[in-house]
Structure 1
Amino acid sequence: MIVKYIQSKFKSVLLFLLFLGIFCFIAYLYHMPADALIYACLLCIFFAVVFMVYSYCRYCQRVAVLRDVRARIEYGPEELPASASHIEGEYQQMIEKLFQRTSAAISARDRQYSEMMDYYTLWAHQIKTPIAVMRLLLQSERQLPSADALQMELFKIEQYVEMVLQYLWLGEGSSDFLLGEVPVDRVIKESVKKYSTMFIKKHVSLDFRETGMIAISDEKWLAFVIEQLISNSLKYTLPEGKISIYADTALENTLVIEDTGIGIQAEDLPRVFDKGYTGYNGRNDKKSTGIGLYLCRLIVGKLGHELTISSEVGKGTKVKLSMAYKTVRYE
């Protein structure tokens, strides 16, 4: 701190030395006795040192107060130390006005965000009713040539609505995580069953080898991640392709979901988990939102898991979900 203080008083020190030099020069010109000159210079230096020590103590006190204010700045700058000069007072007034404007802007933003969250949460729940009605109507009209295709599209709508809900809950910093021992095979089977119609319609075969894994996780959120990974594999795997789900033999408690799909461009791989990033495949498909893998990354991070992707264009994609025990991150 003393170095910063000296730097702040550097001009004052130079000015003092200049005045002392002028004093010595004038005394020399008028042939002042050396003893008197030395005594006067020492006296000036003594009082200068005393003043500097006092000034440094005041400086330390003000810095301590300002650091305390900075640590609690979100509560307002009302505890700023008394201004030492008119200019400093003007700066403090500017800080207070800026804080007032910032507080007003943050309050307005939070209010708008809260209203938006309430609206979209209500919408996501209300939209489930017409979806359920449409499903019942389609089941009663099985003879329609397009009934199966409509059922598939309705299933996709349900998945997108579910994704919206998950996105909203995570955006609110959801603490809806109930950790426990989760049989991974059970979650996989339920997820595959959910997408069984898509496997059949796309003529994609499934090679599922039971893993026997038990994960310390949240079953609901883990199921969402696995469903998203299976959905992505189905989306980008061509008819007569294959999706394999098995345990990695080299890594502890690591699930592998591998497909023979179109693959991911090498330049897209580092950004596949970025929010809203669709990459080359997503731009060609024109239906990708770039949200699914982003949500997966958020969820596995909160659960203490890890998600990695490797891919080769034209050969397929391999996703590894590591569920080895790690510290769970709460936010």
Structure 2
Amino acid sequence: MIRLFIKERLSWILLVLFLHFLLVLVSWLDAPIPLAPILYYVFLSLIVFIIFLAVRYNSETRFYRKLIDWENQLDTNSLVEGNSPFETIVQDSLERQTDWLKQSSSRNLTTLEQEKDDLLSWIHEVKTPLTAMHLMIDRLDDEKLKAGLTYEWLRIHLLLDQQLHQKRLPFMENDLFIEKADLKPLIFKEIKDLQSWCMQKGIGFEVELKAPEALTDAKWLAFIIRQLLTNAVKYSESSDVTINSCRKNGRVVLEIKDLGIGISKKDLPRIFDKGFTSTDHRNLGSAATGMGLYLAKKAAIPLLITIDVSSVPGAGSTFRLTFPEKNEFVKITGM
């Protein structure tokens, strides 16, 4: 701050030094003017000027130091009131801009909330004809047509489900209910929902749950598993998906392993990025939105679930969900 103050007042400092130098120069060139008293005056005035700078430094920088330390949360009450007319101009401008930003933010938030509510309402409305459509598809006699329509129906259903949970994610903490969730019925329900797609692609499941329970929110865990299973089925063909759970170092670990096309080494660090789809196998991933794994990772954070992935191109991928211990939730929720 001292350097900034000197830089700001450098022209004033140079002017004072120049005037003192000019006074000494005139006294030196003009013999009738005694030099000694002039030097004495210059010495005293420089001391007074240095003291003046020190006093002004403290008073002039107090406002700007507060600006630097100001936590920008649209609260101008924490700012020091300006001492000079220029500081008052700055403060008034900040207050006007802050009021405008508050109003704009409030309007945008209201609009966003309305759009979110409208979208959620629309998704719930669409589910009704989708359910009716599924019942109609089940009554078809042509198995080939039935399988194709069921697959397309399932794609629409999963995309709507992603949208629904994506809109709920920012408020996920308000919707959590942490309990010891039974993994078996939860996993088998998700497998059953994908059954028609798996039969079409010749994909089976091997499930072995040595750790049958995990401390989590069952509804949001189901959503995470749904994204991982959908990803496994999408990029696999005529193979099995293995689902195992066990305890490692006191924690429950759920592992989902497929034998699909795998993930290339260069893509692996980016698979949880929003909108990212594989740079390889573009023809296989043409229907991908790049949202499934991103949403799964986002949903896992409030649940304190760690998602790790390992993959070998051409030999499949393995996703591991490591669940927290109870004391980790106690620190956050006070359970």
Same fold (TM over 0.5): yes
Matched with 1:61 is 62
Distance 2:82 2:14 in 1: 27
State the SS of the aligned residue for 1:279. coil
Contact 1:309 1:318 in 2 (8 A): yes
Matched with 2:245 is 247
Change (3 A) 1:281 1:231: farther
State the SS of the aligned residue for 2:272. coil
Distance 2:68 2:267 in 1: 44
Distance 1:127 1:106 in 2: 31
Percent identical among aligned pairs is 24
Contact 1:264 1:317 in 2 (8 A): yes
Change (3 A) 1:71 1:210: closer
Amino acid at match of 1:151: T
Deviation at 1:194, TM superposition (A): 3.0
Change (3 A) 1:159 1:78: same
Deviation at 1:253, TM superposition (A): 2.4
Deviation at 1:153, TM superposition (A): 3.0
Residues 22-31 or 302-311, more deviating? 22-31
Matched with 2:314 is 314
Matched with 1:182 is 181
Contact 1:65 1:81 in 2 (8 A): no
State the SS of the aligned residue for 1:201. helix
Aligned residue runs from structure 1 range 125-204, under 5 A? 125-139=124-138, 141-145=139-143, 146-172=145-171, 175-204=174-203
Distance 1:215 1:16 in 2: 76
State the SS of the aligned residue for 2:223. helix
Root mean square deviation of aligned Cα: 3.2
Deviations 1:74-127 (A, max 9, x none): 1469967447356x6766676566556645553443343223212211111101
State the SS of the aligned residue for 2:141. coil
**What runs of 5+ residues in structure 2 fail to find an aligned partner?**
none
Contact 1:254 1:324 in 2 (8 A): no
Aligned residue runs from structure 1 range 1-331, under 5 A? 1-31=1-31, 32-33=33-34, 35-63=36-64, 65-66=66-67, 70-71=70-71, 74-75=74-75, 81-82=81-82, 84=84, 95=94, 98-99=97-98, 102-103=101-102, 105-139=104-138, 141-145=139-143, 146-172=145-171, 175-238=174-237, 240-247=238-245, 252-280=251-279, 283-284=282-283, 285-325=285-325, 327=328
Deviation at 1:245, TM superposition (A): 1.3
Distance 1:84 1:215 in 2: 63
Contact 1:253 1:323 in 2 (8 A): yes
TM (norm. structure 1) is: 0.84
Distance 1:34 1:66 in 2: 47
Distance 1:73 1:273 in 2: 30
Residues 210-219 or 278-287, more deviating? 278-287
Change (3 A) 1:192 1:78: closer
Distance 2:78 2:304 in 1: 41
State the SS of the aligned residue for 2:174. coil
Contact 1:66 1:81 in 2 (8 A): no
Change (3 A) 1:78 1:260: closer
Change (3 A) 1:185 1:94: same
Amino acid at match of 1:276: G
Matched residues, number: 326
